[in-house]
Amino acid sequence: MEYTKPMHEDAFRAGRALGLDHLKLGVWLFIGSEVMFFGGLIAAFLFYKVNNPTPESALLDVGLVGINTFVLLASSLTVVSALAAVGRGDVASMNLYLIATIVLGVAFLSGQAYEFVSLFRHGLTLSSSVFGSSFFTLTGFHGLHVLVGVAWALSTFFRGMRGNYTRDEHIGVEVFGLYWHFVDIVWIVLFTVIYLI
């Protein structure tokens, strides 16, 4: 069942002149700034890739990264399912979905760590070439965002366990979800830019 957000009919009187939640608006602004952050890194990678075709890209294991992509897409499903669960007052299911999200996030990071180690063994490091620098910077920063997302998921889970979220008050789950889905979108773009084209 699709998540339905709670109505804020007294939003104007509560000081939310646009009828927008301040926390949610802040997270969207943060996401907007993150688009520019990753945009700069991706543009730099593209500039290098277009002007310097390199055999080093043949070292990348598209199959392994494809599995990792499925894992991250699945984690987006568990996050939105957690939000839908708390939206209908089912906090226990929300907690289970958050645990699944944490497991999938850790699985993604493990896959990325395995990929990094494999590339190190082939001599590709952060300082070995321009390709190595741009590749590890881009994927490393994304992995760092996933790590932050896992920590945020843990925090949301513990808050859920303490009963901080109810059917009517669960903005914390929603903004965590926005962040996680954004990280998923970034990976969708990186998967295409780095591994497919």
Partner 1 sequence: MESPAPPVTRRPISYALVFLVLAIITAVELGVKGLGLPRAATNVLFLLLSLGKATMVAAFYMHLRRDSRMYTAIFLLPVILFVVFALLTIVI
Interface residues with partner 1 (CB under 8 A) are 1-3, 5, 18-20, 24-25, 28-29, 31-33, 35-36, 39, 42-44, 46-47, 50, 62-63, 66, 69-70, 73-74, 76-77, 79-81, 84, 177-178, 181-182, 184-185, 188-189, 191-192, 195-197
73 vs 92, beta carbon nearer partner 1: 73
25 vs 144, beta carbon nearer partner 1: 25
Distance, in Å, from the CA atom of 35 to the CA atom of 110, rounded to the nearest integer, reads: 25
- Long-range contacts of 66-72, Cβ-Cβ distance < 8 Å, separation of 24 or more: 66/191, 67/111, 68/108, 68/111, 68/112, 68/115, 69/187, 69/188, 69/191, 71/104, 71/107, 71/108, 71/111, 72/104, 72/108, 72/146, 72/183, 72/184, 72/187
66 vs 123, beta carbon nearer partner 1: 66
63 vs 163, beta carbon nearer partner 1: 63
Alpha helix stretches (DSSP H) within the chain: 22-51, 62-87, 91-121, 130-161, 171-190
Least separation, in Å, of the C-beta of 39 and partner 1? 3
Least separation, in Å, of the C-beta of 162 and partner 1? 26
Least separation, in Å, of the C-beta of 158 and partner 1? 23
